[in-house]
Structures are given as C-alpha cells and as structure tokens.
Amino acid sequence: MRIGKGGPRGARGRPKGLPYLVLALALGFAAPASAQIYTWRDANGTLVLSNRPRQGAPLGSYAVPRAETVRATRLVPADRSRAYDDLISEHARLNGVRTDLVRAVIQVESAFNPYAQSPKGALGLMQLMPATVQQFGVINPFNPIENVRAGVAYLRRLLDRYENDEKLALAAYNAGPSAVDHHGQRIPPYRETQNYVSKINRIAGRSLEPRGTQIYKTTEIIDGRPVVRYTDKKPATGDHDVVWRGW
C-alpha cells in the first residue's frame, strides 16, 4: 500500500490489471509462485494459459470470466469471492467500512488470491506490506482471517485520517498517506493510483464521495503579520480551525 519516491508502486511492484487476474485464475489461486505457466494461441487466435506444456494434441480450454480474449486449460469458477463473504462482512461491520468497498479493494489488490505476492513484498488478499503486517500483529499474512482483519483495520484508519473520504483513503492505500498529504490532500497525479481509485469506484457500486464538506481556516505569519486563509482541503501541517461543515 506504500510507494517510494519513484512513483506509484515503486516500492511495491504489485502485479496489476488483467495479467495478474488471469495468472491467478489459471493457477486456481493455490499454486505456488514458482509454478511454470505455458502460453500459446489457439486456432481462433485466442491466448491460452496452462500449467502444462502443449505436447501434440491441443488441450481443452475454458473461458476466463471477464476476460473474453483469454482462455485457460483449467475450469475457472465464475466467482471465487463467495468463500470470503462472511469474513468480509464481519470485519467491515466491526470497522464501520462498507462491505462493497472492502470487496472491491480485495478484487483489485489480489483478485481474491489468498497467496498473492508482489515482488516488493505485498502479501495476501489485501496485499499487506510488511510494515502493516507488523503494525497489526499479523502472524501469517496468507491466512485470510488475519489478512482481512488487518487490511480492513488499516483501511478504517485511513478513512479516519481523511474524514471518511473514500477516494483519499483508497489513494493512500495505494500510494501511501505521505503521497496524498504531499499533494495537498488530493489524489496524487500517478496514473496507477488514479486508475486504482477509479476501478474500485466502479466495482464498489456507487460514487465514492466524502460524507460532507468542511471549510478550514489557517493563519500564517508573513512579515510579522497574520494572514488568514480558507480552504476545503484539510491542511497537512500546522494549526487550523473548522469554520463550516456541510452535510
């Protein structure tokens, strides 16, 4: 959930987009990261993924849900997420986070692969970074119960930090709170982060708008004189007052 100075996911390198989803689907979500994947084109020009090499007669293949141009040699159930419905609902309720939001984060982060790993160390369903694993006392990040518990608690902490603004919380989950704060409490201008927030917005089923608008008053001392400014973005540093709140 954190990135380095090089931009979004610079410190994470999490597989993203369709290739990650297809790889997880082709492996059945439970294969080790070292498994060999073989690819070829069938007679129709469609990309086929398999964990077995093609020798002689072509292997039968199956459609991959939500990926019309890809097929796999292992049948892929349409929705593997149902196995985690109760777990997601429980921790969403305990932390006061929308269930659909948690589900969307998991879908985008790992495609519901509990064994997902990124080259930079993000782990499990909600792609916890090592610092988050330690912060929330996770013993086994590949255990869905521990992973979702910590991931939703961390998402709740970000929602608290950004006044329940889901867009900013998601941007921080992807790029790190420091990136959001550095850009004036706005979604950082990183393509990956902006796409990440937009994708979760679509999956979660409704526009991710903050619960209300607040106007903040700040005072700076310039040339020995106080200068008052007003903004609708919470100042990242310094003292400030809330002078108006709309709901």
**How many whole angstroms separate alpha carbon 118 and alpha carbon 16?**
10
Q: What is the pLDDT of residue 58?
A: 55
8 in a structural domain: no
For residue 155, pLDDT over 80 is answered with yes
Same domain, 149 and 200: yes
**How many whole angstroms separate alpha carbon 40 and alpha carbon 106?**
29
> What value does the mean pLDDT take over residues 5-30?
45
Total tally of structural domains belonging to the chain: 3
Same domain, 161 and 89: yes
**Residues 73 and 50: beta-carbon distance below 8 Å:** yes
> From the CB of residue 161, how many other CB atoms can be counted at a distance below 10 Å?
17
Same domain, 175 and 103: yes
Q: Could you read off the pLDDT of 159-217 as tens digits, one per residue?
A: 999 988 999 999 999 999 999 999 999 999 999 999 999 999 888 876 444 545 566 67
94 in a structural domain: yes
89 in a structural domain: yes
> Is 109 among the catalytic positions?
yes
Catalytic residue among 90, 109, 163, 220: 109
Residue 56 domain boundaries: 17-72
Same domain, 224 and 170: no
Q: What is the pLDDT of residue 212?
A: 53
Same domain, 64 and 97: no
Same domain, 230 and 168: no
Q: What is the pLDDT of residue 80?
A: 74
Q: What is the pLDDT of residue 28?
A: 46
Phi then psi dihedrals of residue 221, to 5 deg: -100, 115
Q: Which of 46, 72, 98 is the last residue of a domain?
A: 72
Q: Identify the weakest region by mean pLDDT among 73-77, 97-101, 127-131.
A: 73-77
Same domain, 67 and 84: no
> From the CB of residue 29, how many other CB atoms can be counted at a distance below 10 Å?
18
| 54 compared with 3, residue with greater pLDDT | 54
- Helix residue spans in the chain (DSSP H): 17-26, 85-95, 99-110, 130-135, 144-161, 166-175, 177-182, 191-204
Q: Could you read off the pLDDT of 44-95 as tens digits, one per residue?
A: 666 666 666 666 645 555 555 555 554 454 544 556 778 899 999 999 988 9
121-155 b/e with 16+ CB inside 10 Å = b? bbbbbbbbbeebbeebebeebeebebbbbbbbbbb
Q: What percent of the chain has pLDDT over 90?
A: 41
pTM > 0.75: no
Q: What is the pLDDT of residue 18?
A: 46
